[in-house]
C-alpha cells in the first residue's frame, strides 16, 4: 500500500493547484489525477448531480488501487465528503476545512470572504465549517464565471478584471481582510483577484493546507512511500485529453508527460465519443488512449477554438 499512488480528482484543471502542493511537499509520492472535464463545470449542477459524478470518479480511482483520495474540488467536497468516508476503506481528504483553518489564522479583523461556485455557496459548507469560529463574520459570494476563464486559459484581460470586480463588490463592502478562494480553479486567477481585492487583503488557497493534511495522514498511518522512491505520475481526463494536456502543462508543469482518456461517465469530446490517441502513444496500457502533452501543446485545431469561444 505505501508504494501505491495518491488519487486526486477535480472537474478540470483547478485541482492541479492541490496536485502541485502535494508534489512539492511529498516529492517521493506518486499521484493519479482524474479530471472530469466531460462533465465540467460542477458548480451549476445540483448537489445530487455533483455527488453522482464525484462518486463515479472516486470509484474508478479506488479501482486503480490508490492509497488515499483527495477531493480537490470544493463543490464535490461539499456534496460528497460524508458519503466518501463511509464508502471507501482508504482515507479521504477534502479542501474546505483546510482553507477554513487557514483563514481563521489569517484574519485580523474577523471578517472573511469566500468566493466559490454556486453549488458550494448554496450548500452552506463554508458557513458550517466556520461554526467552530463564531467570532468570524463570513461573506459568501458565488463566482461561477471564473471557472470558465481558467478552463479557457485566460488569466489576464480587461473583461476578466471587470468580472472579478463585480464578484468582489460584496466582499469589499463587508470590509473583509481575508478572502478564501473557495474553488481550486481560483488560485490560477490569483493575480487578477489580488489586483482587485488590494494588497491589504490576504488570499487563502486550500492547496498548501490540504497537502499538509495529506502529509500528516500518510505519516501517521504508515502509508508514506520510502525516501528513495521514484514517483510516477498519471493523468486522466474524461473529456478531450488534448485540451487538458495543453492547459495542464501550463498550470502544473512538466510532470504531465501524457494524458489518458478515463473510461468514466460516458466520455465525450464535443458531443461525440472520445477517440483514443494512436496506438504508439498508448504506452500506459489499460486500453485507454494516451496523449503526449508536449506534442499536443502547440495544436489549435478548429474544435479547440470552438471550445474556447463557448462557455462551459
DSSP 226: P
Query: Which of 183, 223, 243, 261 is flagged as catalytic?
Result: 183
Between CA 187 and CA 272, with CA 119 as vertex, the angle to 5 degrees is: 85
Please tell me the distance from the alpha carbon of residue 135 to that of residue 43, in angstroms, as a whole number: 29
The answer to whether residue 73 is catalytic is: yes
In this structure, what C-alpha cell is assigned to residue 190? 490569483
Tally Cβ neighbours within 10 Å of residue 152: 16
Q: Quick check: 16 and 255 in contact, CB under 8 A?
A: no
Question: Judging by beta carbons within 10 Å of its beta carbon (0-12, 13-18, 19+), is residue 170 exposed, middle or buried?
Answer: middle
Burial class (CB in 10 A: 0-12, 13-18, 19+), 308: middle
**Residues 39, 53: contact at Cβ < 8 Å?**
yes
Q: What is the largest CA-CA distance in the chain?
A: 59
Question: How buried is 212 (Cβ within 10 angstroms: 0-12 exposed, 13-18 middle, 19+ buried)?
Answer: middle
- Residue 278 phi, psi dihedral angles, 5° rounding: -55, 155
Distance separating alpha carbons of residues 92 and 114, to the nearest angstrom:
23
Task: Give Cα 115 to chain centroid, integer Å.
Answer: 15
- From the candidates 31, 61, 73, 207, which is the catalytic residue? 73
Q: Burial of 276 by CB count in 10 Å (0-12 exposed, 13-18 middle, 19+ buried)?
A: middle
DSSP state of 224: P
Q: Looking at the annotation, which residues are catalytic?
A: 73, 183
Amino acid at each position: 500500500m505505501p508504494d501505491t499512488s495518491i488519487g486526486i480528482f477535480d472537474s478540470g484543471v483547478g485541482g492541479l493547484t492541490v496536485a502541485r502542493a502535494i508534489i512539492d511537499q511529498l516529492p517521493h509520492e506518486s499521484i493519479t489525477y482524474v479530471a472530469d472535464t466531460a462533465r465540467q463545470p460542477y458548480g451549476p449542477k445540483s448537489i445530487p448531480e455533483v455527488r453522482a459524478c464525484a462518486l463515479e470518479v472516486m470509484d474508478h480511482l479506488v479501482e486503480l488501487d490508490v492509497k488515499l483520495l483527495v477531493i480537490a474540488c470544493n463543490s464535490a467536497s461539499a456534496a460528497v465528503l460524508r458519503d466518501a468516508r463511509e464508502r471507501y476503506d482508504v482515507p479521504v481528504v477534502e479542501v474546505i476545512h483546510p482553507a477554513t483553518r487557514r483563514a481563521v489564522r489569517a484574519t485580523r479583523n474577523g471578517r472573511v470572504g469566500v468566493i466559490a461556485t454556486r453549488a458550494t455557496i448554496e450548500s452552506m459548507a463554508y458557513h458550517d465549517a466556520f461554526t467552530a469560529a463564531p467570532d468570524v463574520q463570513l461573506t459568501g459570494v458565488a463566482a461561477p464565471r471564473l471557472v470558465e476563464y481558467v478552463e479557457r486559459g485566460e488569466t489576464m484581460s480587461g473583461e476578466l478584471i471587470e468580472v472579478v470586480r463585480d464578484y468582489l463588490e460584496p466582499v469589499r463592502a463587508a470590509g473583509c481582510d481575508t478572502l478564501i478562494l473557495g474553488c481550486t480553479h481560483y488560485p490560477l486567477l490569483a493575480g487578477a483577484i489580488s489586483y482587485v481585492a488590494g494588497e491589504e487583503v490576504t488570499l487563502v488557497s486550500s492547496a498548501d493546507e490540504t497537502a499538509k493534511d495529506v502529509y500528516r495522514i500518510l505519516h501517521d498511518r504508515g502509508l508514506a512511500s520510502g525516501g528513495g522512491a521514484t514517483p510516477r505520475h498519471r493523468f486522466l481526463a474524461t473529456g478531450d485529453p488534448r485540451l487538458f494536456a495543453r492547459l495542464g502543462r501550463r498550470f502544473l508543469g512538466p510532470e504531465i508527460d501524457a494524458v489518458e482518456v478515463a473510461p468514466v461517465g460516458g466520455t465525450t469530446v464535443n458531443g461525440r465519443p472520445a477517440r483514443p490517441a494512436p496506438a504508439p502513444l498508448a504506452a500506459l496500457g489499460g486500453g485507454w488512449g494516451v496523449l503526449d502533452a508536449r506534442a499536443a501543446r502547440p495544436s489549435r485545431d478548429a474544435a479547440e477554438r470552438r471550445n474556447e469561444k463557448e462557455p462551459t
